[in-house]
Amino acid sequence: MAGLGKVYLVGAGPGAADLITVRGARLLAQAEVVLYDALVTPEMLALCARAELVPVGKRSGQRSTAQVLINEQLVDCARRYRLVVRLKGGDPMLFGRADEELRALEAAGIEVEVVPGITTAVAAAAAAKQPLTKRGVARSVAFFTSSTAPDQPDHPSLPETDTLVQYMGGREAAATAERLLAEGRRADLPVVVVENCSRPDERILRMHLSDLARGLEPGHGPVLVMLGEALARRAHQA
Q: Let me know if 99 is a catalytic residue.
A: no
Q: Which of 6, 18, 37, 129 is catalytic?
A: 37
Q: Which of 58, 76, 88, 162 is catalytic?
A: 58
How crowded is residue 92: how many other Cβ atoms within 10 Å of its Cβ? 25
Q: Let me know if 91 is a catalytic residue.
A: no
Instruction: Show which residues are catalytic.
Output: 37, 58
